[in-house]
Structure 1
Amino acid sequence: MRSEIAFLVRGCIMKAVVGSGSLAAAVLFTCMPLHAQDRATGDYPSKPILFHVGYAVGGSADTVGRIVLPELGKRLGQSIILDNRAGAGGVVGLELVARAKPDGYTMGFGTAGTLASNVNLMPNLPYHPLKDLAPVSMVVNNPLVFVVNASSDIKSVAQLLERAKAGKRFSYGSAGPGSSTNLAGELLNQLTGAELIHVPYKGTGPATVDVVAGHLDSAFTDLPTATPHIQAGKLRVLAQTSSTRSSLIPDVPTMAEAGVAGYHFISWFGIVMPAGTPAAIVDRMNKELVAVLNEPEMRRRILAAGGDPFPSSPEKMRQIIETEIASTAKIIKSANISLN
């Protein structure tokens, strides 16, 4: 048994299709102009495109997908079916992309975790990011922030590090072992010798709440999670982890600006297709996706959702993946991080 809900968004028909007992929820973005829906193009794409999101409905990747995909489908003149396949931290959804026929009709989101750090954390990862997947474009850079309770007498990263090196024990929370927030914290330890104590949580939300409640000294967390508490005056942001200031928090210094030379860590996600997808198709998808991400209204909506639009060429995305596989390997080995 299944039901369909159709609604109109900016000249596109969108259908939510829900099947009872189904493990996945799918949303069909039918984004051909209304006056041209019955016109066959004869060129790619000539049928709907399946888009796997390896995370639950409501997460950051899912949210951005529901912002970007309708407009991308409109530019392509074809439907895009968003398929949520949560599991194994995004690995399940990305494996479906890697194993799909490389004909241009399957794609999905890959993250800094599923495309880079997992190579070093999961010996039995069911795909290799550089061998089984074809990068299309980066989509979003999600700023990570280093926060303390607003009532703390710690006002800067330099002050915290000075006290830590003098022997005061400081803890930092993360979203769990091997998470981007865990790696961000261990990179700080490795570059400074601070030896902050890692306290793993099941997600950035619980870690952030414990900083607000005064149960945890600090946390590395994502900006969407931290923002409500920052606005409520309950959290102080000491630094952001990227090498350049995010337009979302332009007044917050980077770790390097805060005195940690060489510090750079970002959380991101981009779009990939199966390896072997024809270059002409990858280039077409990249062209349309970059155009969508550069639209002023699209940029505004993504920023409002807590991400920085981050379009790139396929070559640049591949370079980022290669670089981060190498850089996260060093962090993971030095800190002896394990998922077990």
Structure 2
Amino acid sequence: MRKNKAELGESMLLTRRDAIAGVGGGLALLAVPSHAQAAYPSRTIKMIVPYPAGGTTDYLGRLVADQIQAGLGATVVVENKPGAGTTLGAEQVARAQPDGYTLLMATSTTLAINKTLYKNLPYDPVKDFTPIALVAAVPFALIVNPQIPASTLGEFITYAKSRPGLAYGSGGNGSPHHLGAEMLKTAARIDIRHVPYRGSVPAMLDVIAGHIPFMVVDLQPALPQIREGKVRVLGVTTTKRVAAAPDIPTLAEGGLAGFELVAWQGVAAPAGMPRPVVDQLAAQIGKLVADPATRDKLTKIALEPLPGSTPDSFASFVKTEVDRWADIVRNSGAELE
């Protein structure tokens, strides 16, 4: 059974795996000069999470913080700073001292999507950050309030077409949730209206409460709600079914051929951080993601661990992702209010 699930959850980012993984994996990161280890860390490290507590980014940020704390003997404090499509938290980190004591749990939104979405972005995703390592890939799902008379994607599209202006929630302007719904709007030719929230969990809670009828949400926080019947899931946004929920069809299976939306999460710091410090942090993240127990834990909650990421491969990956997401933003027709 384990083999079949692995096959179902087969890498959601196969086409970009070479860009994600550094040559030789994370082994080269282990050779850190002793003087760097002695000097760092010597005080509290702050991990900025640009989303509210309870979501995927917060979960991964706390997982990384615990690893750094255990591995480097440091005190790590997680600070949630949501708002403005992650730009508030990102700008805070971009303007911080590059000394290793302010880190960012960065997302596709922060380092790739916002570059195209915002005309006056207060930071440069490539120039203002030091990429440290990727952590995980994130699949999404289309969920609806159980009162909506739709059990399949086809039924939902029919329902949405009968109600022009149907509202949907998202984790904020320019978030993958926002783009995913706009992609759905274009692919299904439905007229829907965006209601941005400060994070995907608050939006999902309003779907549960019936304040908004549907949304595209990261699967990790939605899975418990799906299993408890608080929301109904109509499909996942990956090209293959997700190992943690193999009974959920893909949106492509439901009739939207080629539909794919997968985001990623990683750790970054202000630009100009000393390489020995970068390597220490990257080694800890690499250790976390390669740990079998952690990998199993992430897979079970519908996240795909991304082992083998290095600072250099992550930096190259960010540059290619800026271009890739620029196409998605333009093709989706997403616009900021």
Q: Please report the TM-score for the alignment, with normalisation by the length of structure 2.
A: 0.73
Residue 171 of structure 1 corresponds to 166
Tell me which protein shows more strand as a share of its residues. 1
Q: CA deviation at 1:206?
A: 5.2
Residue 42 of structure 1 corresponds to 35
CA contact 1:47–1:78 (8 Å) conserved in 2: no
Say which SS state the counterpart of residue 61 (structure 2) adopts.
helix
Q: CA deviation at 1:266?
A: 2.2
Q: Which has the larger radius of gyration?
A: 1
Q: CA deviation at 1:151?
A: 5.5
Q: One-letter code of the match for 2:189?
A: A
Tell me which protein shows more helix as a share of its residues. 2
Q: CA deviation at 1:271?
A: 0.4
Moved over 6 A (4+): none
Say which SS state the counterpart of residue 65 (structure 1) adopts.
helix
Q: One-letter code of the match for 1:339?
A: L
Mapped partners of 1:45, 1:132: distance in 2: 27
Q: One-letter code of the match for 1:314?
A: P
Say which SS state the counterpart of residue 226 (structure 1) adopts.
helix
User: Among residues 45, 54, 58, which one is paired with 2:53 in the alignment?
Assistant: 58
Q: Does 1:123 align with 2:116?
A: no
User: Among residues 281, 287, 296, which one is paired with 2:283 in the alignment?
Assistant: 287
Residue 104 and residue 219 in structure 1: after superposition, are their counterparts in 2 closer, same or farther (change >3 A)? closer
Q: CA deviation at 1:180?
A: 1.9
Mapped partners of 1:46, 1:253: distance in 2: 51
User: Among residues 170, 184, 187, which one is paired with 1:188 in the alignment?
Assistant: 184
Say which SS state the counterpart of residue 287 (structure 1) adopts.
helix
Say which SS state the counterpart of residue 216 (structure 2) adopts.
strand
CA contact 1:95–1:126 (8 Å) conserved in 2: yes
Q: Higher mean Cα deviation, 114-123 or 279-288?
A: 279-288
Question: Counterparts of 1:137-286 in structure 2 under 5 Å?
Answer: 137-150=133-146, 152-161=148-157, 169=164, 171=166, 173-175=168-170, 176-190=172-186, 192-202=187-197, 203-205=199-201, 207-212=203-208, 216-279=212-275, 281-286=277-282
Say which SS state the counterpart of residue 143 (structure 1) adopts.
strand
Residue 51 and residue 150 in structure 1: after superposition, are their counterparts in 2 closer, same or farther (change >3 A)? same
Q: CA deviation at 1:251?
A: 2.5
List runs of 5+ in structure 2 lacking aligned partners: 1-33
Mapped partners of 2:221, 2:258: distance in 1: 26
CA contact 1:139–1:270 (8 Å) conserved in 2: yes
Residue 317 and residue 247 in structure 1: after superposition, are their counterparts in 2 closer, same or farther (change >3 A)? farther
* Root mean square deviation, CA, Å: 3.4
Q: CA deviation at 1:305?
A: 6.5
Q: Higher mean Cα deviation, 82-91 or 287-296?
A: 82-91
Mapped partners of 2:175, 2:196: distance in 1: 10
Q: Does 1:326 align with 2:323?
A: yes
Q: Please report the TM-score for the alignment, with normalisation by the length of structure 1.
A: 0.72
Residue 107 of structure 1 corresponds to 103
Say which SS state the counterpart of residue 263 (structure 1) adopts.
coil
Residue 70 of structure 2 corresponds to 74
Mapped partners of 2:305, 2:49: distance in 1: 20
- What is the identity percentage for the equivalent residue pairs of Structure 1 and Structure 2? 31
Q: One-letter code of the match for 2:35?
A: G
User: When the two structures are aligned, how many residues end up with a matched partner?
Assistant: 298
Mapped partners of 1:174, 1:316: distance in 2: 34
CA contact 1:248–1:308 (8 Å) conserved in 2: no
Question: Per-residue displacement from partner, 1:203-245 (whole Å, max 9, x unpaired)?
Answer: 4345434544556543212334433431222432111123343
Q: One-letter code of the match for 2:39?
A: S
CA contact 1:151–1:234 (8 Å) conserved in 2: no
Residue 179 and residue 280 in structure 1: after superposition, are their counterparts in 2 closer, same or farther (change >3 A)? same
Q: One-letter code of the match for 2:236?
A: Q
